[in-house]
Structure 1
Amino acid sequence: MNLLLNPKQYRDRNYPDERSKEIMLKTIEWFENKGLAAQKEAYHNREFCNDFKEFVTKEGFFETLFLPKGYGSDPNQYYSTYRLYEFSEICGFYGSGYWYTFHVSHLGLIPVLLGDNEEAKHRAARILKENPLCAFGLSEQEHGADIYSTETMLYPQGDGTYVARGRKYYIGNGNVANIISVFGKFADTGEYVFFLVDSQHPRFECVKNIIDFNQQFVAEFILHDYPITEADILSRGQKAWDDMLNTINICKFNIGSGSTGVATHAFYEALNHAYHRIIYGKRVTDFPHIRRLFMDSWLRLIAMKLFGLRATDYMRMANENDKRYLLYNPLMKMKVSTEAERTIEQLFDIIAAKGFEKDTYFEQAAVEIKGYPKLEGTRHVNMALVAKLIPSYMFMPQPFEEFGRITDNRNDDFLFRQGPTRGYAKTRFHDYNIAYNSVSHLPNVKIFMEQIEAFKEYLMVSGQDLAKQMEDFDYLLGVGELFTLIPYGQLIIESAKIEGVKDEVMNQLFDLFIRDFSAYAVNLYGKYQNTDAQLEKIMKMIKRPVPNREEFEKVLQEEVYSLVDVYRQNP
């Protein structure tokens, strides 16, 4: 079993059409033909990836990937989170500069597609053919995540037109995008608005690239009485506000898949290096601490991939009566990306100084991976969202129809009609015990279930006081880290059944999760806000996995070390 992306042994993900597979294969071919040396030269020279822009423009990939049914030139067009997942992972696998241009283009186009302006949607589809790089003009330097305080304004001119004035900050692709969705307010009413601008317009000033550590162009720009007509206005009022939040809901999913790609490439490079390096007469991969580090990093990668695939299914299944994706999506952004960062830190402990060498992929991965958890809402913001769902997830299960892996050519319609963002805490979930009971014969799953029960007891003794305690973000993070492992494990179990993952792999995976859960419990135990009743329940969460050296050795040799030399990027 190798669930991990391997461009040299591309696994057909059962796409229903040849175009989807063609996109993945041609993208892999383009990167491999470019080669690692040229890629690293561009990275060190901080070159904006114009060659990638030219490639995706020629091939029309973003048109196929981004546009829902009814737009674009392909009669078989459909919007699929499933194929976006893999394209995002491939881009991340080769470099965050490429992934970022893809990601912010996705962000920039979605407000157009969510909006009320039908002509703007077709206009954007036409522009994509000439320049597929888009931008999302949301944040401002003075306000950061405080979108309520945005100062960019549309000033009415008395003839039905407007001029836009304002400054936006931290805007990826702001140097080249012809489609920039800008969030602001009407100056006369204070009503929210989304409108379109073009970076090449004479009233648009690209001030500078505000970063200087890789290939990305993250712009500061100013609108100097930029002329706006009704044809440029995408949405107004509450609809504009909802479209802003729903755009982030849709696109932050890319962060998990992109970071999975980064960590996977780093894993292959670290494994190849360690296996072929002899120290004190032994292979580095034979040292006991290295064996544990490789096992844990591989298990984290497998968990990230399994969760991502299953979360994709929930994104595609979403409808008015099934909004479970509202939990799994922030986990994809927050949990998966932090697990990727943690994985690379473990791999760095293995390869040590090698990880600083400028000719390796690892050198850039170690830097770039730190950015993923900080995008589209910090860990704190996403954990605050997740924490609102603890009561409904843990205590109010509802029946839902079961479904498997969704790889067909359905259009993910509901993502474009999510509607108002209120009522988040009322989201309902199916019983997580269904998944856990299906593998409760595994010793470490059984212990993990005991930890879940102890967490549930902690919630019960906490009562209404917990909401007050979690107003302190430090305490909220402590509780949230424990909670997120439960739905994370649930979706991994569901996905593992679909992918045919072996029991011994799952048992070793939950060995890791028990240790993680225990560490999070120790962290929560140290918080001053805890009552004596809470401390008693937290202590019950601290457990030891059931050790199985024979199983550990089997998985290490047959699954982890079997990946030695299966992938090296073309030089």
Structure 2
Amino acid sequence: MTDPVVDRYGFAERHLGAAARAALARLAETLERDIRPLMDDAWDRAVMPGEVLDALIPLRLMDPPGVDADEVDTSMFSGFRCFTLARSDVSVATMYTAQAGLFRTAVRHGGSPEQAERWDPAVRSFEMRGVFCLTEPDHGSDIAGGLATRARRQGDTWVIDGEKRWVGGADVADVLAVFARDEADGQVKAFLVDRHAPGVDIRVITGKVSLRPMQNAHITLRGVRVEEERRLHGVNSWRDVAGLLRRMRSDVAWIATGLQAGALDAAVRYTTSREQFGRQLGGFQLVQEKLARMLGNVTASLALVTALSANQDAGVWSDENSALAKMVTAERARESAALARELLGGNGLLLENDAARFFADAEAVYSYEGTHEINALIVGRSLTGASAFA
């Protein structure tokens, strides 16, 4: 699966077996043939076509046929899956990762072994579609201490009150993984809430300028009742939540890297087909300099995220490594997407040329799963031993 334009150093060949690369190649083919033609209209109308998931589910990307289970269940394969999806469209990557990354991580690593064994097959097959509900209207970066959604136990039932915001995919989910503070001990717990349960209200957020096909929601929970057996028994404090986030942040770094690759694809495609002043646009020095910067960004980002995933697959998980990768790749994505838009001139504002989608979506990736500043403070704390958080 080595791409001479982007993966000049053969990262995929070095880190993935032939069967895994073949599964990703099938994904790339499906994205190009069945999904990419839908996305301009989807972006323009701010809808996610049902055909997108219909095309992805049969690929069984969480357990692809012919690929050894031990390889699929790695940060490396998950990362290259995110990269391939985001290279086509960041909303598609975000939608799929909401299930395969956020929700699945909550179930597998936030649930007890028995809960994970019971629910994970349904998550992999999309029989159980779920979303991760952590961010709140008044608490994003300060969610660790500020989480305001409350849960109180009444016998074998919990009653939840609160609000969640920016929850991607909630409008089509079956289950909401809701994080709430236990009124009894002040610790954060997690619950699998039926989205149709009495007291659950889901409203799609409109007016977005990024990730337009990906539907984000504002969720209100008023007296929502959840059985104890639907509480994720591995989440009993913020430390447990942080462990989940540590695993998820690497996916976002891979998405930021894939975004850069997609922006570079758009820029190369345009500059090698467009003529100005009687010659190919790609033959001008200033154009080539910008393309070279973009390739440098995506290559450096690939080196960083593959190193991160290799460490994680070796059992080395750290907040600072994930935070550094997300911080750097998202910043490089912002620059690369802007360069792609710039190289296309006025035509870079048209959806049909792809650069506009990556340009707008880079802003969302820059902010979600920890802002640049929050991730910088996590890294800075690891360097100095002193916390600069307020």
- TM-score range, shorter-chain basis? 0.7 to 0.9
Which of 369, 385, 390 aligns to 1:376? It is: 369
Aligned counterpart, 2:161: 165
1:84-163 aligned within 5 A: 84-105=78-99, 106-128=101-123, 129-131=125-127, 133-147=129-143, 148-157=145-154, 159-163=155-159
- The residue number in structure 2 matching 1:287 is 284
Residue 80 of structure 1 aligns with which residue?
A: 74
TM-score (norm 2): 0.87
Q: Which residue of 1 aligns with 2:261?
A: 264
Give the Cα–Cα distance (whole angstroms) in 2 for the partners of residues 286 and 4 of structure 1: 17
**Structure 1 pair 311–76 and aligned structure 2 pair: CA distance change class (3 A):** closer
Question: Number of matched residues?
Answer: 379
Structure 1 residues 498-525: Cα deviation after superposition (integer angstroms, max 9, x where no partner): xxxxxxxxxxxxxxxxxxxxxxxxxxxx
| Deviation sequence 1:371-412 (CA, Å, 0-9, x none) | 111011111100001112224xxxxxxxxxxxxxxxxxxxxx
Is the alpha carbon distance of 1:169 and 1:335 closer, same or farther for their aligned partners in structure 2, counting shifts above 3 Å? same
Q: Match of 1:119, as an amino acid?
A: E
- Cα offset for 1:94? 1.0
Provide the C-alpha distance between the structure 1 equivalents of 2:36 and 2:68, rounded to a whole number of angstroms. 37
The answer (yes or no) to whether the contact 2:164–2:218 under 8 Å persists in 1 is: yes
Name the SS for the 1:194 alignment partner.
Answer: strand
Structure 1 residues 135 and 188, CA gap change in structure 2 (3 angstroms): same
The one-letter amino acid paired with 2:165 is: Y
SS of 2:237's partner is helix
Identify which of 320, 325, 332 aligns with 1:327: 320
Return the alpha-carbon distance in structure 2 between the equivalents of residues 21 and 209 of structure 1. 37
Structure 2 residues without counterparts, runs of 5 or longer: none
CA distance in 2, matches of 1:217, 1:277: 35
Comparing 43-52 and 331-340, the one that deviates more: 43-52
Aligned partner of 1:42 in structure 2 is 42
Q: State the match for 2:215 in structure 1.
A: 217
One-letter amino acid matched to 2:28: I
SS of equivalent residue, structure 1 residue 141: coil
Change (3 A) 1:235 1:179: same
Equivalent in 238, 249, 252 of residue 252 of structure 1: 249
Q: CA RMSD in A?
A: 2.9
Alignment CA distance shift 1:122-1:223 (3 Å): farther
Q: What is the one-letter code of the residue matched to 2:333? A: A
The CA distance in 2 between the partners of 1:4 and 1:296, in whole Å, is 13
Please give the alpha-carbon distance, in whole angstroms, between the structure 2 residues aligned to 1:41 and 1:164. Answer: 38
Counterpart Cα distance in 2 of 1:161 and 1:291: 63
Change (3 A) 1:132 1:101: farther
* Letter of the structure 2 residue corresponding to residue 125 of structure 1: D
Superposed CA offset, 1:270-320 (max 9, x none): 12322333322333233332232222222222211222222221121234x
In the other structure, the counterpart of 2:356 is 363
Moved more, 137-146 or 124-133: 124-133
Aligned match of 1:479: none
Q: Could you tell me how far apart the structure 2 residues matched to 1:270 and 1:207 are?
A: 37
Corresponding residue for residue 60 of structure 2: 60
Question: Is contact 1:117–1:231 with CA below 8 Å preserved after alignment?
Answer: no
Give, as a single letter, the amino acid of the residue that structure 1 aligns with 2:95: T
Hey, what's the Cα distance between the residues in 2 that align with 1:143 and 1:212? Answer: 19
- Which residue matches 1:346? 339
Residue 282 of structure 2 aligns to a residue in which SS? helix
TM-score by length of 1: 0.61
CA contact (8 A) 1:85 1:254 kept: yes
Q: 1:126 and 1:116, CA in 2 relative to 1: closer, same or farther beyond 3 A?
A: closer
Q: Which deviations, in whole Å up to 9, do the C-alpha atoms of 1:43-102 show, x marking residues without a partner?
A: 21222242232333334323x28xxxxxxxx99455211111111011101111111112
The aligned residue for residue 185 of structure 2 is 189
Change (3 A) 1:344 1:317: same
Q: Is the 8 A contact 2:6 2:298 kept in 1?
A: no
**Contact kept? 1:4, 1:305, Cα under 8 Å:** no
Instruction: Evaluate the alpha carbon distance shift between residue 188 and residue 369 of structure 1 in structure 2; reply closer, same or farther with a 3 A threshold.
Output: same
Q: How far 1:172 sits from its partner (Å)?
A: 1.1
How many angstroms apart in 2 are the aligned matches of 1:336 and 1:154? 36
1:300-449 paired onto structure 2 within 5 Å: 300-319=297-316, 325-391=318-384, 425=385
> Greater CA radius of gyration, 1 or 2?
1
Could you tell me how far apart the structure 2 residues matched to 1:327 and 1:180 are? 28
Q: Distance in 1 between matches of 2:157 and 2:25?
A: 46
Q: Structure 1 residues 388 and 172, CA, compared in 2 at 3 Å: closer, same or farther?
A: same
Paired letter, 1:139? T
Determine which structure has the larger strand proportion and give its number.
2
Q: Following the alignment from structure 1 to structure 2, what is the Cα–Cα distance between the partners of residues 127 and 346?
A: 42
Aligned partners of 1:288, 1:23: CA distance in 2, in Å? 38
Q: Identity of paired residues, percent?
A: 15
Partner of 1:278: 275
CA distance in 1, matches of 2:381, 2:12: 38
Structure 1 SS opposite 2:351: coil
Residue type of the partner of 2:187?
E
Q: Deviations over 1:438-484 (max 9, x none)?
A: xxxxxxxxxxxxxxxxxxxxxxxxxxxxx7xx9599xxxxxxxxxxx
How far, CA to CA, are the matches of 1:276 and 1:236 in structure 2?
Answer: 54
- Please state whether the residue corresponding to 1:182 is helix, strand or coil: strand
Q: Which runs of 5+ in 1 are unaligned?
A: 66-73, 392-424, 426-466, 474-571
Please tell me whether the aligned partners of residues 377 and 389 of structure 2 are also in contact (alpha carbons under 8 angstroms): no
Superposed CA deviations along residues 315-360 of structure 1, whole A, max 9, x for unmatched, are 21234xxx5x543321211101111111122233322112012311
* Residue 235 of structure 1: how far off its partner (Å): 3.6
Cα distance 1:254–1:186, how it changes in 2: closer, same or farther (>3 A)?
same
Residues 340 and 355 in structure 2, CA contact (< 8 A), matched pair in contact too = no
- Distance between the aligned counterparts of 1:17 and 1:242, measured in 2? 38
Separation in 1, partners of 2:17, 2:58: 23
